[in-house]
Amino acid sequence: MGEYSKEELKYLNILSEKFPTIQSVCTEIINLEAILNLPKGTEHFLSDLHGEYESFLHILKNASGAIKTKIDEIFKNTMTNEERRRLATLIYYPKEKLELIKKETPNIEEYYRITLYRLVKVCTVVGSKYSRSKVRKAIPKEYQYIIDELLHANQNCYDRDVYYDKIIDSIISLGRADAFIIAISNLIQQLAVDHLHIIGDIYDRGPGPHIIIDELMKYHSIDIQWGNHDIIWMGAAAGSEACIFNVIRICARYNNLDILEEGYGINIRNITEFAMEEYANSNTNIFNPKNVDEKDSKFDQTVMSRTQQAAAIIQLKLEGQIIKRHPEYFMEDRLLLDKINYEDNTITLNGKVYKLIDGYFPTIDPENPYELSEKEAEVVKKLVKSFKNSEKLQRHIQFLYSKGNMYKVYNDNLLIHGCVPMNVFGEFVSVNVNGRELKGKDLLDYTEKIAREGYFEPEGSEKRENGKDFLWYLWCGKNSPIFCKDKMKTFERYYLAEKETWEEVKNPFYNFENDERISEKVLKEFGIDPQIGHIICGHIPVKFKAGESPIKASGKLFIIDGGLSKSYQKTTGIAGYTLRYSSYGLTLVAHEPFTSRENAIVDETDLHSEIQIVEKVERKRIKDTDKGKELMLQISDLEKLLEAYKNGTLSELQPGAR
């Protein structure tokens, strides 16, 4: 008999309950070894979504062009370009496209028959890299048996054509063609991407971050790396006053107060009424909202402008209070309200006097500039309650915590929204967090711990209050690994005309973005082999139209913020980058602006994308991935169980024993 420790015997006994016989153990080993040799699943990387839900959802549906590529490969000799484009649109938007097709197609039964054959073919190809069991589990239960039969009819029946045709005919005659087309189309979308990575900044600027998160919550396999624009909403949901007023200010600035009211059911009447009353005599245009269109009345624009103005002043006061509570943040240079000369409307910065564009501060007491007025304090109190009581916001933020992290190591890639803070010498900078001096991986690990405490620790506890303040620090602090700039110039960008005062200096990490040695150093810090690994991040828009490339450090670093947010597209010149990591290597996709969902459905205008293969490898198998390592450990455990059965240490369960 073999020698086993008590712990090993305990574990093997537990494992034997699931695999009670030699035959069951052998079957599972054979199954796992077969899976190890399947091709690696495709990973899809997106960053900086910024509420642009229509563009994002289309990219998700077309898998950054992967589905259209498969259609072209399969049917290039049997279908016209127009037919292939229509089939792709059907797969992306099956329900909506079918409604249009039925209105303009005289022989709908023939259309159904041809289309079902084509969809089954596409589904068979995109599902070929998965085990049959995995594909079956992805099929909606109500259609599981029939779709499985359609995908594998040639393996199960001697007279394949008759059997296959009979299934198709029955689907049509029973009036289930629409339902099956929708089910197979959704299955194709799911199988085209095995795992989705969202590398931060779901929130702010665009109109639908809540719509994006609703969709992500339904996604089959996903992870999220928090961006600073996500963190500010996480802090707001936790009850951080400073985070809440940053959120309100940004929503008002980008004409998105509907996100709060309609998206999350947050009552903002208190802040809008307060703003219209307290700032009634304001005549500045520096708070005019962006993204205004013809449906926004002059009154609506005034409400947004004054709400933004009121929120900005409350925000600056609350931030000043945090900075004073936490000298370890080293952010005293952001205490600006006490640097204003309220008599002549000037401010002194770095020894230089600047004239303010606007000097209307009706709620600031020059003697105590960071103290909230009585009315402001009441508005803050009510809004904190509204944010904390928003069931949908809390559900979305809990999802961000459950699927999200400060960073992730996945299949030899480091995924992080921003950077690993460095100094000008390319060394990891040491940051004081709660009295601990931390840098590199340790810094990111500990900051995540504090970010979680700010939401999950008991209300009113010291850890909760400290964590809430730290969530705000992660939004805009000097050495925050997801802000990655020396300071956030909110005040200067509003109140000063001199653009030199607006500059936000990027962390020195970005000075070394083309230095292969520094990227290798970062990869080693996170336990990744620098010869095969990559850093994939977003946060800093890549200026494509100025000739900048998202591929840095000889392919070791990818910055894939290409401007999915419309606010950035004038700077970047494109409408976003995405990465695909298939069994054949890495592919970078540059997207042009998305017109509209309606155009995509009616006119079949797909998102035009330029596809660039950036790294081609010998085909990777599941055994080459993190999942493969897990499966190999399972095989090792099963082999130990098999040995224990064979040498008599454990007895097989006899038939009928249970």
For residue 42, pLDDT over 80 is answered with: yes
For residue 658, pLDDT over 70 is answered with: no
**Tens digit of each residue's pLDDT (9 = 90 or more) over 22-41:** 999 999 999 999 999 999 99
Three-class DSSP category at 586: strand
pLDDT range class, residue 575, cuts 50, 70, 90: confident
SS3 for 600-616 is: HHHCCCCCCEEEEEEEE
Residue of 11, 130, 292, 92 whose CA lies nearest to 621: 130
Residue at token pair 């070929």: 128
One-letter amino acid for residue 618 of the chain: E
Contact 188, 527 (CB under 8 A): no
Instruction: Please report the sign of the dihedral spanned by the C-alpha atoms of residue 287, residue 293, residue 294, residue 299.
Output: negative
Residue of 405, 401, 410, 463 whose CA lies nearest to 434: 463
0.75 exceeded by pTM: yes
Q: What is the mean pLDDT of the chain?
A: 93
For residue 250, pLDDT over 60 is answered with: yes
Task: Give residue 158's pLDDT.
Answer: 54
Task: Give residue 27's pLDDT.
Answer: 95
Rounded mean pLDDT, 130-143: 89
The token pair that represents 167 in the structure block? 């299934």
The token pair that represents 182 in the structure block? 């929708």
Cα–Cα distance, 3 to 628 (Å, whole number): 28
Residue of 192, 195, 199, 251 whose CA lies nearest to 225: 199
Which are the contacts of 247, defined by CB distance < 8 A and separation ≥ 6?
A: 232, 233, 236, 260
Cα–Cα distance, 382 to 325 (Å, whole number): 23
Task: Give residue 1's pLDDT.
Answer: 56
CA triple 162-163-165, angle to 5 deg: 65
Cα–Cα distance, 416 to 445 (Å, whole number): 12
For residue 418, pLDDT over 60 is answered with: yes
Other CB atoms closer than 10 Å to residue 344's CB: what's the count? 10
- Higher pLDDT: 159 or 20? It is 20
Contact 426, 518 (CB under 8 A): yes
For residue 440, pLDDT over 70 is answered with: yes
How far is CA 307 from its chain centroid? 29
For residue 124, pLDDT over 90 is answered with: yes
For residue 192, pLDDT over 90 is answered with: yes
Could you tell me the CA-to-CA distances from 122 to 60, 90, 134, 183 in Å, in that order? Answer: 17, 12, 17, 13
Ranges 347-356, 431-440, 521-530, 647-656: which has the least confidence:
647-656
Which are the contacts of 512, defined by CB distance < 8 A and separation ≥ 6?
A: 422, 426, 518, 519
Could you tell me the CA-to-CA distances from 86 to 22, 98, 240, 401 in Å, in that order? Answer: 52, 11, 49, 39
Rounded mean pLDDT, 180-201: 95
Cα–Cα distance, 127 to 60 (Å, whole number): 17
How far is CA 514 from its chain centroid? 25
Angle, helices 440-456 vs 462-476, to 10°: value is 130
**DSSP label at 458?**
P
One-letter amino acid for residue 538 of the chain: G
Task: Give residue 606's pLDDT.
Answer: 76
Ranges 235-244, 474-483, 561-570: which has the least confidence:
561-570
| Percentage, residues of the chain above pLDDT 70 | 97
Ranges 269-278, 353-362, 576-585, 648-657: which has the least confidence:
648-657
Residue at token pair 């402001």: 376
pLDDT range class, residue 653, cuts 50, 70, 90: confident
Rounded mean pLDDT, 498-518: 96
**Tens digit of each residue's pLDDT (9 = 90 or more) over 235-246:** 999 999 999 999
Residue at token pair 């081609």: 616
Other CB atoms closer than 10 Å to residue 133's CB: what's the count? 10
Cα–Cα distance, 491 to 505 (Å, whole number): 16
Task: Give residue 291's pLDDT.
Answer: 85
Ranges 66-75, 457-466, 564-573, 594-603: which has the least confidence:
564-573
One-letter amino acid for residue 491 of the chain: F
For residue 156, pLDDT over 60 is answered with: no
| Percentage, residues of the chain above pLDDT 90 | 80
Rounded mean pLDDT, 342-359: 95
For residue 457, pLDDT over 70 is answered with: yes
